[in-house]
Chain A
């Protein structure tokens, strides 16, 4: 059975002095994957130029625009309709813990997945904090470990807005013990990777009809590779597994690979950017 979502993403920027030239890149478009399809989308901009799209090196859509002329504010509105399918439970397809470890520890697995096995700048955990890491026992099952790690991170961090920013690292979070979804996710990735697990950062949308934390803006969670099951989503912010209410946009090593907006401006003075996100579930059809 399908579930439909209407998504609206708005980015509004205001500049102190007129901007002559700019280049923006948005990664806000729901990706097309196994359980998810993009039915339609629309993009409106305040400056009138056409947008164009390209794919980043991992295959995710980037919406780009080059507003030119003089402007003091810039607004982009993206709206989309997404269909999600319920995923059948494949938990029991995974092999024994021993076989799981043998697979993710093999040379070929490492060569194919090194991006998600190496610590990245935002997920590195320094030596002095290593004792904080939840240790994976080789004899334990990867799904069980991931769930344990998920609740561990959920329990040691407290959800607080505006205490961290996009350059906050897992190393910072392990000390301050607070933050928002990307901080929870970076710490999850840092700990899992320290244990030799392949995992990736995911950005996306969360159904606002749910009771989850993190629905106001774009959300972040983690995916762990579990042999037999494939990439499996965990949300440490909400201490749950990813379900039909999670709409994926992109994945990467950490936030830097998935940041919703990047840009270069030719201007001086201050600027402010706001984002508004709406995610509504449609009647089931």
Chain B
């Protein structure tokens, strides 16, 4: 099979291992490179291993110098910062594929936004029994403080991050919706920058859609949802501070939009308006793009021990004097159990067939589903409904009998907390592995970012 890959002498792809039962984004089943990867592959085939290692080092240095880092929270390490790993070999999404994805993502997020408005107003979707009301009311992210309140332009999910995978059937599936404070867009931008610097030739061989205008578009979206009657809104990015895992992104976005990066202690509330403390005195703030979770944004409304937020903020928001992005309470939909109802939600509000597929999901709160999950633990991935970033996930095929038993108990004790999905076979992509100094197939997913402003 290796022979069928067109090699140029001592090619760096020469030991690429094509696995038959996986969907490879670059090569087809016979090992032939896909048409739209031909040009980039032939560029890479001209490189020697030494060239590639040099380029890789160059890219790493570029990331290090830009300070592009991330952190993973775990019990024994307190947010150790790491350089964001970057893969030199680009993933290509064809225009045709992208246009369908784009339509599907917009459709999905429009419906989600209408759903949010409904569950905080008339709750028709619950009364019509499309979504079980208990599912919404038992969510910790469903905020009573948002009931009956309408944010400017009826927009709740100004920024949403839809995660997609491609299964071995070659189709895209939505894995989850991130509707609270989705992060990661700064990596998209710096990856593209690094790609331009290291592999400029790729850009002359393809007609590539730009991403560099994201901060510009983000800013105009933010300005579009300013409170009624404010012409030149003052907008800020609110960060929990430099110890947050995504702090790099917060500062990057503020800087590239040309707006202030603030912490809770830089803001205060007076007479139902929010003010920022500046060297030149108080300045009124109209829009807050907050990267602080709902629980922490206002100690008078939510967690009283929070020092990351602004006391009194929710009152100003309810008075319509400040806009919060994303709206508080969007997490009620950013829940893996609600996820399973999104296709029904799309049909209900838009009377359209969903463009993007959902992964088959079993809801442990339903008796039949629970039974199936308990009996088929090895073949499933079980996830807590309210965690993000891969925390608390049970992987059936990698588990021991003992672990399965222990997890079964956990599910039985709190079925509402868990959903299960068949193990999806994520597509693979040629990836340069530093340790082996070869290209190897690696699983990939796709995080999209969708902006929604006021027309």
Q: Is B268 among interface residues, defined by CB-CB distance under 8 A? A: yes
A98 close to chain B: CB less than 8 A: no
Rounded to whole angstroms, the CA-CA distance of A3 and B269 in the bound complex is 38
Within 8 A of A (CB), among B222-276: 268-272
Residues of A close to B146: CB separation below 8 A:
57
Q: Which of A150-207 contact B (CB under 8 A)?
A: none
Chain B residues positioned under 8 Å from A52 (CB to CB):
270-272
Q: Does A83 contact B (CB under 8 A)?
A: no
| Contact assessment for A108 and B144 in the assembled complex, using a CB-CB cutoff below 8 Å | no
Check if A114 sits within 8 Å of B272, measured CB to CB: no
Q: How many residues of B are in contact with the other chain, CB < 8 A?
A: 26
B268 in contact with A64 (CB, 8 Å)? no
B315 CB-CB contact with A under 8 Å? yes
- A57-B319 in contact (CB<8A): no
Q: Which of B133, B147, B312 contacts A23 (CB 8 A)?
A: B312
Interface residue? B126 (CB, 8 A): yes
Q: Do the beta carbons of B137 and A114 come within 8 Å of each other?
A: yes
Interface residues of B in 118-133 (CB under 8 A from A): 123, 126-127, 129, 133
Assess whether A235 is interfacial by the CB under 8 Å rule. no
Report the number of A-B residue pairs with Cβ-Cβ less than 8 Å.
Answer: 59
Cβ-based interface call for A115 (8 A): yes
Q: Is B299 an interface residue (CB 8 A)?
A: yes
Residues of A within 8 A of B129 (CB): 107
A54 touching B300 in the complex, CB below 8 Å, given contacts A21-B268, A25-B312? no
Q: How far is the CA of A114 from the CA of B139 in the complex (A)?
A: 13
Give which listed residue, B123, B268, B300, B318, contacts A25 with CB less than 8 A: B300
Question: Hey, what's the 0/1 contact readout for A10-26 against B, CB within 8 Å counting as 1?
Answer: 00000000000101010
B311, CB-defined interface residue at 8 Å:
yes
* Contact A64 to B137, CB < 8 A, known contacts A23-B269, A107-B129: no
Q: How far is the CA of A115 from the CA of B319 in the complex (A)?
A: 23
Confirm or deny: A86 has a beta carbon within 8 angstroms of a beta carbon on chain B: no
**In the complex, how many angstroms separate the beta carbon of B221 from the nearest chain A beta carbon?**
26
Does chain B have a CB within 8 A of A275?
no
Identity of the chain A residue whose Cβ is nearest the Cβ of B146 in the assembled complex: A57
Bound-state Cα–Cα, A77 to B148, Å: 32
The answer to whether the Cβ of A1 comes within 8 Å of any Cβ in the partner chain is no
Return B302 CB to nearest CB of chain A, in Å: 11
Instruction: Report yes or no: B318 in contact with A57, Cβ–Cβ below 8 A.
Output: yes
A264 within 8 A of B: yes
Interfacial chain B residues near A66, Cβ < 8 Å: 268-270, 312
Assess the B319–A54 pair: CB atoms within 8 A. Answer: yes
Instruction: Give the distance to chain B from A230, nearest Cβ to Cβ, in Å.
Output: 19
Shortest C-beta distance, B145 to chain A (Å), equals 5
Residues 49-81 of chain A, each 1 if its beta carbon lies under 8 Å from chain B, else 0 = 010101111000010101000000000000000
Bound complex: CA A142 to CA B316 (Å): 40
Using a CB-CB cutoff of 8 Å, which residues 242-267 of chain A contact chain B? 253, 262-264
B residues 203-230 near A (Cβ < 8 Å) are none
> Shortest beta-carbon distance, B327 to chain A, in Å?
13
The answer to whether B268 touches A114, judged by C-beta atoms less than 8 angstroms apart, is no
A33 at the interface (CB under 8 A from B): no
Interface residues of B in 345-393 (CB under 8 A from A): none
B149 close to chain A: CB less than 8 A: yes
> Residue A219 at the B interface, CB < 8 A?
no
Q: Any chain B CB within 8 A of the CB of A136?
A: no
Whole-angstrom CA separation of A21 from B268 in the bound complex: 10
Beyond A111-B123, A118-B137, 18 additional pairs, beta carbon < 8 A: A23-B269, A23-B312, A25-B300, A50-B271, A52-B271, A52-B272, A54-B315, A54-B316, A56-B318, A57-B144, A57-B149, A62-B315, A64-B269, A64-B315, A107-B127, A110-B133, A111-B126, A264-B311
Binding site for B on A (CB under 8 A): 21, 23, 25, 50, 52, 54-57, 62, 64, 66, 107-108, 110-112, 114-115, 118, 253, 262-264
Nearest 7 CB-CB pairings of A with B: A264-B311, A54-B315, A23-B311, A57-B145, A52-B271, A114-B137, A66-B270
Complex A-B: 16 CB contacts under 8 Å: A23-B269, A25-B312, A52-B271, A54-B318, A54-B319, A57-B147, A57-B149, A66-B269, A66-B270, A107-B127, A110-B133, A112-B123, A115-B144, A262-B300, A264-B299, A264-B300
